[in-house]
Amino acid sequence: MYKDTNCGEPRESAVGSQITVAGWVHRRRDHGNLIFIDLRDRSGLLQIVFNPEYSQTAHDLAGSLRSEWVVQITGKVVRRLPGAENPDLPTGAVELSATDLVVLNRALTPPFEIADDIEVDENTRLKYRFIDLRRPRMQRALKLRHEVTHIMWDFLTAKGFTQVETPILIKSTPEGARDYVVPSRIHPGEFYALPQSPQQLKQLLMVSGLERYFQIARCFRDEDLRADRQPEHTQLDFEMSFVHQDDVMAIVEELYSRIVHETVPDGTISAPFVRLTYAESMDRFGTDKPDLRFGMELSTVTEIAARSDARVFQSVASSGGSIRGFIAPGCGNYGRRQTDELTEFAKQSGAQGLVFIALDESAESIEKLEDDHIKSPLKKFLSVEIVRELATKMGAGPGDLMLIVAGANRLVNTVLSNLRNEMARRLEFVDEKHFAFAWIYDFPLFDWDEDLKKWEPAHHVFSSPKPEHMQYLDTDPGKVLANLFDLVCNGSEMGSGSIRIHDRDLQARMFSIIGYTEDQISERFGQLLTAFSYGAPPHGGMGLGLDRLVAILVGEQAIREVIAFPKTQSAVDPLFEAPSPITDQQLEELHVRVVMPRS
């Protein structure tokens, strides 16, 4: 070994011992006859002193050290001079008085500083990711990520789960997200696909009698990227046989509680996890992934607003849309600039506009609300009576700001749920150390696709309908709820699960409801249906996003921050410069011809 001690380890108890450390020169402070080095390794920082009285040669060499050089240093741990301790450093009571210095490798000046508080262009960071990852914050994220998967392995192993690796080269199924595709050399004109999830494979493992399977699985989707979406992401994929929905939830609840407690000791968690039906979540929050760390729940005021003289309200109500809103408490004094910002924000989410009604705090109560107390761009269309009714319905009081959006149901929900999160951010309602986990369940089995004029599976085709809704399967598919549930936390979807269909005929019926022909069914799902004919147990499971979980635990918005080598928004890896063209010879071997798009 090049070292017998890690930089972050020495404490007062080590004073007097001779140690050898190795690491990177974090900073050098050269006082001429006395040189200080902060030496960094994965464990932290240790101050090294080069004093010519102890070693002239080491001191001479130390003068030439530069940032990020890799060095090995031997010396004696000494107590720092009184008053020279550094309380900000865990090793701050001691320092290493160097007797030997070996330069293991020199380094170019890094393109950016190795520090947590830097703000460097992300492309530069990714291009030099190997340096970016030297930052303590990044190391913390990677280590925490490891800790999380370690807990998952431990926990699930103890619960009788078996980890199975499923193939990365599988068959393309054109529904859902776009597949990443790999050409076959051996079979000209044929392609593998990278899995979007090991869904069918794990269901087959249930038929195989494994009963409890899990995998930290890489999943691939060729869709546009976002802060929380990468072309490849990792999920905890698991499946269990002979279970009901509650059994699946219970396992996850125990596991995730443990993960939070062990990785974020000062974090708080809502236990048991909140449970909301999909319908209730949409009604109260306008989204199926509500942030439950704060209130500001939505109200529906279509009927009241439609009785006002405002034409926007009347026309939306008569065309079957909805008028909904929520209260921003204490924001009745918002000025033009603030309301403009919010309007702009709402428009970004697709709203035509945003209606404000501010109630002056001088009003004694809603009952005693006077015309003077009301401020709104729509004021001349709103009678005091209507405003009183609205305020009562929405729960507004003097000094509050009512935010109202009118439009198509879905749009109104999108806008208001985004706006609700934005207001919480502005009003600092968000507790960063609280993890508000919730189960959203009773999702509909199908969504109506207006463009294609057909039913689409709300999550995926393998989820089972609730038994009591089976009767509507053919007559009114939109009415059928599924044994389908999402785990959400702080406004993010953490994963999705369901009790699957294990009956061959029912699964085949599902495929035909969403419009697959017999040929398509046997071509794409033949193996699953066949397997179901050979004794498939009732089963269910989940896919839980690891990247998002770790991001939430470390308080990052973008999952790029918790992925060692992520891609940019255009799906490029700036470090390796992937994707890239391949040689003509490779193309020929793969029987692939490239047709560039006309520009």
**Binding residues for RNA, per CB under 7 A?**
27, 29-34, 36, 38, 47, 49, 51-53, 66-67, 80-81, 84-86, 88-89, 92, 95, 109, 111-113, 118-124, 175-177, 196-197, 199, 221, 223-227, 229, 348-350, 414, 418, 456-461, 557-558, 560, 568-570, 572, 574
Q: How far is the CB of 80 from RNA (least distance, A)?
A: 4
Q: How far is the CB of 84 from RNA (least distance, A)?
A: 4
Evaluate the CA torsion angle 425, 266, 285, 364 in order and state its sign. Answer: negative
Integer Cα distance of 78 and 185 in angstroms: 64
Complex with RNA: residue 177 or 271, whichever CB lies closer: 177
The nearer residue to RNA, 398 or 495, going by C-beta atoms, is: 495
Instruction: Output the CA angle 377-381-384, nearest 5 degrees.
Output: 95
Q: Which amino acid is it at 141?
A: A
Containing 453, the helix (H) or strand (E) segment is none
- Inter-axis angle of helices 336-348 and 409-426, to 10 degrees? 130
The nearest distance, CB 428 to RNA, in angstroms, is 19
- Beta carbon of residue 213, minimum distance to RNA (angstroms, whole number): 15
Closer to RNA by CB, 119 or 519: give it. 119
Helix or strand holding residue 589 (H, E): helix 584-590
Nearer to RNA, 414 or 464 (CB): 414
DSSP state of 471: G
Q: Distance of CA 546 to CAs 337, 487, 498, Å?
A: 39, 13, 18
Q: Which CB sits closer to RNA, 388 or 548?
A: 548
Cα separation, 213 vs 202, whole angstroms: 7
Our CB check for RNA shows the closer of 38 and 291 to be: 38
- φ and ψ of 239, to 5 deg: -150, 145
User: To the nearest whole angstrom, how small is the minimum distance from the Cβ of residue 471 to RNA?
Assistant: 23
Cβ proximity to RNA, 50 vs 313, nearer residue: 50
The CA-CA-CA angle for residues 91, 97, 101, to 5°, reads: 110
At its nearest, how many Å lie between RNA and the CB of residue 283?
A: 19
Strand-pairing partners, residue 438, are 274, 488
Residue 232 Cβ vs RNA, minimum distance, rounded to whole Å: 12
CB 214 within 8 A of CB 163: yes
The structure tokens listed for 498 are 């369901």
CB of 265 vs RNA, minimal distance in Å: 26
Q: Are 252 and 159 in contact (CB under 8 A)?
A: no
- CA-to-CA dists, residue 193 to 10, 182, 196, 197, 590, angstroms: 51, 6, 9, 11, 15
- Measured from the CB atom, is 394 or 563 closer to RNA? 563
Q: How far is the CB of 318 from RNA (least distance, A)?
A: 24
Q: How far is the CB of 320 from RNA (least distance, A)?
A: 19
Q: How far is the CB of 63 from RNA (least distance, A)?
A: 8
Helix (H) or strand (E) holding 300: strand 299-300
CA-closest candidate to residue 253, choices 228, 276, 274, 237: 274
Q: What is the length of the chain?
A: 599
Considering beta carbons, is residue 107 or 384 the nearer one to RNA? 107
Taking Cα atoms as reference points, which of 325, 331, 332, 329 lies closest to residue 346?
325
Residue 270 CA: distances (Å) to CA of 260, 289, 314: 11, 16, 41
Comparing CB distances to RNA, the nearer of 470 and 578 is 578
* Residue 93 or 378 with smaller CB distance to RNA: 93
Best CA proximity match to 540, nearest among 236, 242, 158, 218:
242
